[in-house]
Structure 1
Amino acid sequence: MPKGSNQKLKLSYLCKIMQEKTDDEHSLTLQQIMHELEELGITAERKSLYDDFSVMNDKLGIEVIKEQIGRETYYHVGGREFELAEVKLLIEAIQSSKFITKNKSTQLIRKMKNFVSEYQAKQLQRQVYVNDRIKNMNESIYYTVDGIHTAIEQNKQIKFQYCVWNTNKELVPKKDGAFYKVSPWFLAMEDENYYLVAYDSEAGKIKHYRVDKMLKISITDNLREGKELFKNLDMGEYVVENFSMFHGEKRRVHIEFPDDKVSIFIDRFGKDVTIRPAENGRSFVAVDVAVSQQFFGWVFGLGADVKITSPEDVVSDFKKQLEEHLAELMS
């Protein structure tokens, strides 16, 4: 049998055919496989296909399953690097992530389909819906994250412009476009947003920055500073204590609530949070938080039956915030 023009690519194309056109529900006979190869300018004999299947199984980690149905023998790819259920789970995570832009979500989902057969890809397409209402609009965010990781690996400081949104929905640099210079130490995901936690040498303290609001990031030649502050820092605990990444004085705060709202506090502070019984079907927690207007707003949003009980100065500040808002509404 004369050899086809793409004969050297035979094994590569065979792998592609089997992975794209077969799965647990769809198989091909040897004759059908030979026809698919012929369409690509490749000739194949039965014995050579048997040898190729062995190479795929033993050397390439592609499981080819042989199945006898009646008088015909069928072949299909079995276990894959990602099972269909896993790909569906990953796609759902991409769809629901506010951090990933709509365009990047579409690109990633398209790439994820390469891990399944063309038949399974059609199933995935039916479930794909990317809601751009909640998606981030800063397309450069992936390069920013990569730059931050590189700086951390190289133990170098970074500089960047930090921005805010204006009424025209444009990102506008703060401080008239002046560059911020910080030592990056770690990235944290909180409430579907990515944050850089870094040391500001000029201010002499740890600060947080929304990654999607950072522009024109570059790595400097200066080594990072602030190592001692991060040396014994429990980063997981730090993120919980500074939830929502709003600045404020860190305090141990007692919050009392009805028992039917306990899941809210476990979801927010984790299963390790200490919950103690109060009276009349109520409980309280003592948590370390960054006391701020945003923290007060979170507590207020839980309803009138949730209240801060101590320390007294935090209770007073909370009441003052409520009174000021009420006075503003009544004016």
Structure 2
Amino acid sequence: MAKGAHQKGKVLRLCQLLLERSDEEHPISTQALIQALEGWDIHAERKSIYADMETLREQGLDVQHRRGRDGGWFIGQRTFQLPELKLLVDAVQSSRFITSRKSSALIHKLESLASVHQARQLQRQVYDTGRAKSLNERVYYSIDKLHTALSSGKAVSFRYFEYNVKKERVFRRGGRRYTVSPYGLIWDSSNYYLAGYDHQKKELRHYRVDRMEDLALTGLPLEGREALGTLDLASYSQRHFGMFGGRTAQLSLRCRNSMVGVVLDRFGQESILVPDGPEHFVVTVEAVFSTQMMGWLFGLGTAVELRSPAWAVAEYRGQLSKVLGQYQADP
């Protein structure tokens, strides 16, 4: 091959070198760039490097140059800065709906958006208590299909399963397919859920995406538009503790003042807190009263008291009595 045959790719190679090997803490000297280009049979002179860097700047790349003994060329602003990439890596690593293998693949792709030096900082283990990874490898592609269904306005069908003590899949409804008009996807407690209108039950329900099998788009039009039209997914997720089902109610809670942050984190900044004496406040919230909700209340101990409605107080007392009964019997 004639000398200089690779010269046309010179600017592209320089761009690649800068993106992969440089950052503010690791600039590349002009001489190092010239030597690296030689590895691709590309000849370069110092003056031409400066001209090429100006070309890259004109194309929108934030090429910076630092003079001095430890100076050189580097990329300043990138599409994603290192702190942003760390947040994305943490989210991928701690998400239950993404399998371990898919997490590794996604993190590797995120690393390619940083320099090789910064990528080492992304190779870290995130510990998230109780966040076991999904065993369903296809969940990643199921999410993509669900987004397609949402954008096209078509219903989906799937089989839905749970696990037994042998870790075997047990399909609900005897393995018959569910047909659901999708409304939106909810990410709650590191799980993805589909909120939609169940064609058989004729009601709004939610389903864990990693428990879906054989998900398929259908040609069926959406149903339940009246039920779904006024639904706000953010408030829907807020009402359902851990996405457990139950009876929706206006719950009155009497809380110690130290619980203000806990209540606002759970129910939102718009919650109305009414002072009740010097050390307490009362708040009324709309929530689905489920066993998960009772568990949240129990975890707060005497700092939060459920005051009403009466039926919810009775159910909570009954649940506490059942649990206490398990520990009163002789071993």
For the criterion TM > 0.5, the same-fold answer is: yes
Q: How does 1:219-234 map to 2 (within 5 A)?
A: 219-234=217-232
Identify which of 310, 321, 324 aligns with 1:323. 321
Q: How does 1:150-299 map to 2 (within 5 A)?
A: 150-279=148-277, 281-299=279-297
The structure-2 alpha-carbon separation of the partners of 1:131 and 1:137, relative to structure 1 and needing over 3 Å to count, comes to farther
Bigger shift: 268-277 or 133-142?
133-142
Structure 1 residue 73: Cα displacement: 7.1
Match in the other structure for 1:18: 18
Aligned-residue Cα RMSD (Å) equals 2.2
The structure-2 alpha-carbon separation of the partners of 1:30 and 1:178, relative to structure 1 and needing over 3 Å to count, comes to same
Q: Distance in 2 between matches of 1:73 and 1:287?
A: 59
Q: Distance in 2 between matches of 1:97 and 1:221?
A: 32
Q: Deviations over 1:133-173 (max 9, x none)?
A: 63222221111111111011111010011110111223332
Q: Distance in 2 between matches of 1:88 and 1:244?
A: 26
Task: Please give the TM-score of this superposition, normalised by the length of structure 1.
Answer: 0.90
Q: How does 1:72-111 map to 2 (within 5 A)?
A: 74-111=72-109
Amino acid at match of 1:30: T
Contact 2:99 2:134 in 1 (8 A): yes
Match in the other structure for 1:6: 6
Contact 1:67 1:74 in 2 (8 A): yes
Q: Distance in 1 between matches of 2:105 and 2:152?
A: 30
Q: Deviations over 1:93-129 (max 9, x none)?
A: 323333332222222221122122222223333xx11
Structure 1 residue 180: Cα displacement: 0.7
Structure 1 unaligned blocks of 5 or more: none
- Answer yes or no: is 1:69 the counterpart of 2:65: no
Task: Please give the TM-score of this superposition, normalised by the length of structure 2.
Answer: 0.90
Amino acid at match of 2:308: S
Following TM superposition, where does structure 1 have runs of at least 4 consecutive aligned residues deviating by more than 6 angstroms?
Answer: none
Amino acid at match of 2:56: M
Q: Deviations over 1:247-300 (max 9, x none)?
A: 112110111122222222111111111111223512221111112222222212
Q: Distance in 1 between matches of 2:177 and 2:288?
A: 27
Structure 1 residue 243: Cα displacement: 2.9
Contact 1:105 1:130 in 2 (8 A): no
Q: Distance in 2 between matches of 1:111 and 1:183?
A: 33
Q: Deviations over 1:230-254 (max 9, x none)?
A: 2222221222122321111211011
1:330 is paired with a residue of what secondary structure? coil
Match in the other structure for 2:38: 38
Contact 1:102 1:130 in 2 (8 A): no
Q: How many residues align?
A: 326
The structure-2 alpha-carbon separation of the partners of 1:112 and 1:233, relative to structure 1 and needing over 3 Å to count, comes to same
1:115 is paired with a residue of what secondary structure? coil
Identical-residue share of aligned pairs (%):
37
